[in-house]
Every structure is written in structure tokens, then in C-alpha cells.
Amino acid sequence: MRWTATLMALLLILAACGGGDSGAGSGGTAASGDGQKSYSGEGSVVDPQPPGQAKAAVDGREYTFTEPGAVDCNITAEAITFGFRIGDNEVTLGGGANLYDEGWLGGISLVVFNPEDEDAPINYFPALADHGDGIAIDGDSMSYSGPMQRNDPDDPTNVDGISAGDGTISVTCG
């Protein structure tokens, strides 16, 4: 559990570093009628959730989150932060990322602490630096859809992880 707290603290620090690009240089940034910018990577938000909820699906697993986690939910065109949990942190979902000229930098992490048929917790995550175009934002909702990685059970030192196939994460603050 110590590494989860460290990850969440890192995500919070990354998000607190401030937004990035406020212009249209990143591809999908544009002002909406109320002055708020909206960003959409490759399309619209996938599987929008009710306010205050999130959903994650990857590697044949699907989770719906209705309980807040350690990080407040905040979604803007230039930054995302959120935290959700199931039960007493049996499954957690957290994220913190900023949009810069280079794209999205930060992280999103889905941690399953006692997965069936596994000897250790599983950490699923997208490589946002490479696949940030999978992020779509609309108001208080965001989603990521695209390639996901997971920790390597055979090599815990492999920080890049191994492929977990495509997945989706959808969050709505509220």
C-alpha cells in the first residue's frame, strides 16, 4: 500500500505543477461558448459516467467506481486530477496529468490489490506520453481509450510494464 500512496502523491504533485498549453498548438484545444476550453484527442468522451463516478475496463476486467479516493476530482482542458476507490481500497483509480505543447504528461493508474488468479496486485496504466491522444474531455467528463500496460509479474523491476491490450477509463467529476 505504501507505493500506492507514493504514486498518488506523485500524481498530485504533477497536477499541481499547473496547466500546459492554452493555445491550439496541441491539436484539439478550442474555446467553447462559455469561455471554457475543451480538448478532445481522437473523439468524444467514451462511456460518459454520472457525476462523481468512474468506470475502467481492461484485460477482461471491468470496475465501476462510486466512492471518492485520495485525490479530488478536477477536469479542465489543460489538467486532470481524480481519485476513486472500491471498498477499503480493494481497487483504486487515480490520475494526474497536464497538457503541454508536447502532449499529455502525467499518469493514470488502476490498481487491483487482490486480483483473482494473480499472486500480487496488478497496476494497469496508459503511457500518456505516447498515447495521450486517447484522452477526450468534455466539461467535467474525461475518458482515455487506447493501449494499456500492466506491471510485469515476472520482472517487478520492469517499470515500462507489459501490454494489457486496449482499455477504457471514463471519469465524471461532480
Asked if residue 144 is part of any domain, the answer here is: yes
Query: pLDDT at residue 122 above 90?
Result: yes
d(CA 82, CA 100): 19
pLDDT tens-digit readout, 155-171: 989 989 999 999 999 99
3-class SS string, 1-64:
CHHHHHHHHHHHHHHHCCCCCCCHHHCCCEECCCCCEECECCCCCCCCCCCCEEEEEECCEEEE
**The C-alpha cell of 156 is what?**
517487478
Asked if residue 30 is part of any domain, the answer here is: no
Tell me which residue of 32, 14, 63, 42 sits closest to 140, measured CA to CA: 32
d(CA 129, CA 147): 12
pLDDT tens-digit readout, 8-25: 444 433 334 433 333 333
d(CA 107, CA 112): 16
pLDDT tens-digit readout, 22-59: 333 333 333 333 333 334 455 799 999 999 999 999 99
Asked if residue 94 is part of any domain, the answer here is: yes
Phi and psi at residue 18, in whole multiples of 5°?
105, 165
Which residues does residue 120 pair with via DSSP β-bridges, in sequence order? none
Residue 19, pLDDT score: 38
pTM: 0.77
Asked if residue 31 is part of any domain, the answer here is: no
Asked if residue 32 is part of any domain, the answer here is: no
Residue 117, pLDDT score: 85
Residue 119, pLDDT score: 87
Asked if residue 29 is part of any domain, the answer here is: no
d(CA 150, CA 34): 39
Asked if residue 61 is part of any domain, the answer here is: yes
Please give the residue range of the domain that contains residue 147.
Answer: 2-24+37-172
Q: How many domains does the chain have?
A: 1
